[in-house]
Structure 1
Amino acid sequence: MNSQNGFLLSYIKYGENDAVLHCFTEEDGFQSYFLKGIYAKRNKKKALLLPLSKFNFSLNPLKGNGIQTISKFELVKSNDIYMDIKCNSVVFFISDFLNQNLKHENKNPTIFFCLEEFIDELEHQNYQSHLVFLIKILKIQGVAPLLNEGNFLDPETGTFSQELTHQLFSEDISTIWKAILYAENPYVIKVHSTFRKDFLDSVLVYYHYHITDFKTPTSLEVIQQIFE
C-alpha cells in the first residue's frame, strides 16, 4: 500500500455507491482512482468531495491494467473557500480547466506548487487569482509570450508587435499581459473590472493557439457572469 497527495479535479459516480476520482497528484501527475462505497448512506466523507480539495490517498497495489483503488483518504487541509460564491466559481472554473487540459501531464512539481499557491491566494479572497494562475501555467509549459518593446501581443506568434493583430489584444489588454509576465509576484496585480472579461477571453484565445487540443472550460460562462 502506498500514499499520494493530490488535488481533486473532478469525479463521476460509478454504480450505486462508488466513484471514479480524477486528480492531479504530487508524485504522478494526472491520475484516476476508484473509490468504493463513497455514496453509501452512512459514508459522511462524500461531503469532502469538492473540486481542488487536497487529499492524502492511501492506495491499494495495482492489479492488472485497471486503475488503482483508494483504501482510504483524508483531507490534508480544510478551508472556507467553498462558502464564498466568488471563490467557489473560481474553484470550479480552474478545476474544470485543469481536468480538461492536464490529462496527459505526468509528474510536475512546479504545477503542483503553483496549485498550492493559487489556493492560498483564494483563501485570502484574491478573486482575480485565476487570471494570474492561467498565465503561470503558460510559463511552466514554456509557451508564455516573449517580452519585447511592442505594445500589442500577437497571440499566434507569442510576441509583442507595434500593430494590432487580434481584436481582443488591444494595448490595454496587452499591457496587463506584460505586467503579469514581468512581475516578481503577479498575484498583487489588480485587473480593473472594465478589462476582466476581455482579458480572460484573451488568455483562452492564447491557449487555443499554443496548447494542443486545448478545451475551453464549460464553466466559462458562469465565471464571466459572476464577475460582470
Structure 2
Amino acid sequence: MIVKSKGIILGYMKYGDTSIITRVFTEENGYGSYIVNAIRSQKSKKSIGYFQPFSMLDMVLYVKETRDLQRISEFKNHHPLHHIHSDHTKSSITLFLAEVFSRLLQSEQSPNVQLFNFTMESIKVFDQLKVGVANFHLQFLLKVGPFLGYAIDDIDTLFSSADRTAPSSEEFQRIGSLMQEPYGTDIPMSRNSRNEILDAIINYYQHHAHISRPKSLDVLRSILN
C-alpha cells in the first residue's frame, strides 16, 4: 500500500553499504522504522542531511502490514529548518529530545494527529526561538505528556515518582511557569535548578512510561552548563 504522509525524523542508523533505517513519527501511521535505499550511495541525488533529527518531510511510504520495517520511496522538505541543526545548543537539545521522544513513542503505532501537530508546531517554534532556548526541552517534555496519556496533573504528581522531597516554593513556581507559559518565555533558573527539574521529569517518565535513562543526557548537561 502506498501512503502519503508528513513525517518527523527522530534519527537513523546505517543499513547495508548504502542505505539507512530511520525512525519516523508520521502523521498517517504513527511511529515506526523505515528503510531508505541507496541514500548513502555516491550516485544518490539527495543528501542524508534530510534525515537529521527533527527534520520535517513530505514522504511517500510503501507500507505492508506483514512487515515490521517499511520503506520510504520519495521524500522532500515539508518545512525547512534554519537554526536547529547549525546552532550547537539547539542541536544538542534536539538530539536529546529525539532520543527521549522516540522511547515515549514506542506505543504510538497508530495515528495520533493531535500529538503530531503539537510536535511539528513545537519544532517550528524551537527553530526560530531566541529567548528561553535552554528551557525548551523542559517545556516540551512537560507539555507533551497529555498527548501521550501521561498528563502531569499537578506539580506534586511530577515529584511523587522520584525519591526526593517536594520542591521549594521557588522551584514550584518555576515548574508551573514551564508548564503554562509558551515557548520563549524568559524563565530564569540556575544550572542546579534546571538539572533537578529535568531529573524529576525523566524519573516521571521512567516510572509511568517505563523508558530507560537517556544516553544523551550527560552530553546535554555538559553543553547547557
Indicate whether the TM-score tops 0.5. Answer: yes
Which residue pairs with 2:139 in the alignment?
132
How far is 1:100 from its partner? 2.1
How far is 1:88 from its partner? 0.5
CA distance in 1, matches of 2:218, 2:18: 32
Which residue pairs with 2:43 in the alignment?
42
Does the CA-based 8 Å contact 2:19-2:40 persist in structure 1? yes
CA distance in 2, matches of 1:142, 1:53: 25
CA distance in 2, matches of 1:157, 1:198: 14
Which residue pairs with 2:77 in the alignment?
75
Give the helix-richer structure, 1 or 2. 2
Q: Secondary structure at the match of 2:140?
A: helix
Superposed CA RMSD: 2.5
Which residue pairs with 2:116 in the alignment?
112
How far is 1:57 from its partner? 1.4
Q: Structure 1 residues 144, 64: closer, same or farther in 2, change over 3 A?
A: closer
Q: TM-score, normalised by structure 1?
A: 0.84
Which residue pairs with 2:220 in the alignment?
223
* Max Rg structure: 1
Counterpart residue identity of residue 201, structure 1: D
CA distance in 2, matches of 1:56, 1:65: 22
Matched, 1:59 2:57: no
CA distance in 1, matches of 2:184, 2:98: 19
Does the CA-based 8 Å contact 1:100-1:217 persist in structure 2? no
CA distance in 2, matches of 1:143, 1:32: 23
User: How much identity, in percent, do the aligned residues show?
Assistant: 25
Matched, 1:177 2:179: no
CA distance in 1, matches of 2:66, 2:207: 38
Q: Structure 1, unaligned stretches of length 5 or more?
A: 159-164
Deviation beyond 4 Å, 4+ runs, structure 1: none
Does the CA-based 8 Å contact 1:155-1:206 persist in structure 2? yes
Does the CA-based 8 Å contact 1:168-1:202 persist in structure 2? no
How far is 1:60 from its partner? 2.9
How far is 1:46 from its partner? 1.3
